[in-house]
Amino acid sequence: MTSFSEKMRAFALTVDARSKAAFVNIASATLGSIRDGSPITGAPGQPVDTGALKASWQLSFDSPVSARVSTDKVYAPGIEDGIDMRTGKPLVFRSTVGGPHSVALTIAGFNRLVADEVSKLGASGA
């Protein structure tokens, strides 16, 4: 017969596992929204010319409770803001995919992204 303390320990382990799964999935979904676009946030994702910008977006985990989505491309701010960083003119996007403001729209829709990932875990856990 399972004791109460054993049940509590099992429950705590389940909660911990679900929390970690949710965190990793939310971080991955954030990267996906910025890089590839998302119908949940409305982010268009990165436009593609050579594919270098899209490939440069990375997800890293600084700690068990901190994740970072980043790119090292110096022109990424211009793509995000829709501005030609040489001329100051608005960018004209020729790519058939992606567009500007993916980071901002991902931030704006982050609550929905979280809700979606948590719902995917379901009631019984990952």
Give the total of residues touching another protein (CB under 8 A). 27
Candidates 11-19, 24-32, 65-73, 106-114 — which segment interacts with another protein by CB under 8 A? Answer: 106-114
List binders of another protein among 38-77 (CB under 8 A): 39-43, 77
Q: Does 87 bind another protein (CB under 8 A)?
A: yes
98-104, long-range: CB within 8 Å, 24+ apart, which pairs? 98/37, 98/44, 98/45, 98/46, 98/47, 98/48, 98/54, 99/44, 99/45, 99/47, 100/44, 101/43, 101/44, 102/33, 102/34, 102/35, 102/37, 102/43, 102/44, 102/45, 102/46, 103/34, 103/43, 104/80
**Residue 45 Cβ vs another protein, minimum distance, rounded to whole Å:** 13
- Considering only 30, 31, 105, 117, the residue that binds another protein (CB under 8 A) is 105
